[in-house]
């Protein structure tokens, strides 16, 4: 199963990097698969640790893709790193295996500690819509523009029916990024 999470890593000088990543949850641990080039990949290879943050504030996903990376952080417990302060739960992991690849290496990580912070508040369609739109926007260079437009139109239906303030804010950031891309590409 793939879980859409926020991965926090640190470089060897202690600078934290925040990135949305779909991670594969497996019996033995997690598989993180960053596309090259990636700061997450570089940091994991450097420091061999990361934090997987389970977060329902979709502004973090949309924000990271639109240049808003300054989210509140708290010290991790057993590794030298940071977690998102507003994570519902987090898991601190250690890198145990690297399968290199020119496009998308596979990083196998084992869990060292999982901590719950807040209760899961239930499913919300607008959160799903923001996540899907964020994934589309992270792949604009690779997708046909008609596909992007039709999928955004569909996602907007669930968003308009169910969004709260956080979801609307995240959606607006993504739509601004989409408009900018459209204008620059002359579409």
Nearer of residues 22 and 164 to ligand FMN, judged by Cβ? 22
CB of 143 to ligand FMN, least distance (A): 13
User: Are 9 and 95 in contact, with CB atoms under 8 Å apart?
Assistant: no
> Would you count residue 20 as binding ligand FMN (CB under 6 A)?
yes
User: Are 126 and 156 in contact, with CB atoms under 8 Å apart?
Assistant: no
> Would you count residue 19 as binding ligand FMN (CB under 6 A)?
yes
**Range in contact with ligand FMN (rule: CB under 6 A) among 35-43, 73-81, 83-91, 155-163:** 35-43
> Would you count residue 55 as binding ligand FMN (CB under 6 A)?
no
The binder of ligand FMN chosen from 16, 25, 31, 39 (CB under 6 A)? 39
Alpha carbons 165 and 169: distance in angstroms, whole number: 6
Alpha carbons 166 and 164: distance in angstroms, whole number: 6
Alpha carbons 182 and 140: distance in angstroms, whole number: 10
Q: Max Cα separation, the chain?
A: 49
User: Are 9 and 40 in contact, with CB atoms under 8 Å apart?
Assistant: yes
CB of 153 to ligand FMN, least distance (A): 19
Pairing of β 73-75 and β 82-84: antiparallel
Q: Which residues pair with 4 in a beta bridge?
A: 22
> Would you count residue 61 as binding ligand FMN (CB under 6 A)?
yes
Cα end-to-end span (Å), the chain:
36
The binder of ligand FMN chosen from 3, 11, 15, 22 (CB under 6 A)? 22
> Would you count residue 134 as binding ligand FMN (CB under 6 A)?
yes
**Range in contact with ligand FMN (rule: CB under 6 A) among 29-37, 78-86, 147-155, 178-186:** 29-37
List residues near ligand FMN by CB under 6 A: 4, 19-22, 33-35, 38-40, 61, 65, 131, 134-135, 138
């Amino acid at each position: 199963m793939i879980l859409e999470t926020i991965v926090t890593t640190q470089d060897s000088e202690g600078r934290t990097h925040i990135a949305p990543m779909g991670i594969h949850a497996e019996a033995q641990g997690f598989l993180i698969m960053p596309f090259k080039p990636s700061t997450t990949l570089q940091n994991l290879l450097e420091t061999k640790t990361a934090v997987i943050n389970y977060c329902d504030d979709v502004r973090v996903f949309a924000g990271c893709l639109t240049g808003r990376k300054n989210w509140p952080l708290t010290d991790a417990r057993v590794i030298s790193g940071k977690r998102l302060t507003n994570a519902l739960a987090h898991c601190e992991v250690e890198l145990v295996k690297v399968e290199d690849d020119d496009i998308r290496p596979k990083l196998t990580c084992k869990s060292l500690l999982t901590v719950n912070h807040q209760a899961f508040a239930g499913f919300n369609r607008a959160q799903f819509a923001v996540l899907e739109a964020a994934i589309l926007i992270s792949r604009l260079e690779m997708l046909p523009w008609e596909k992007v437009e039709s999928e955004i139109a569909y996602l907007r239906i669930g968003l308009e029916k169910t969004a709260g303030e956080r979801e609307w804010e995240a959606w607006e950031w993504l739509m601004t990024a989409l408009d900018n891309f459209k204008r620059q590409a002359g579409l």
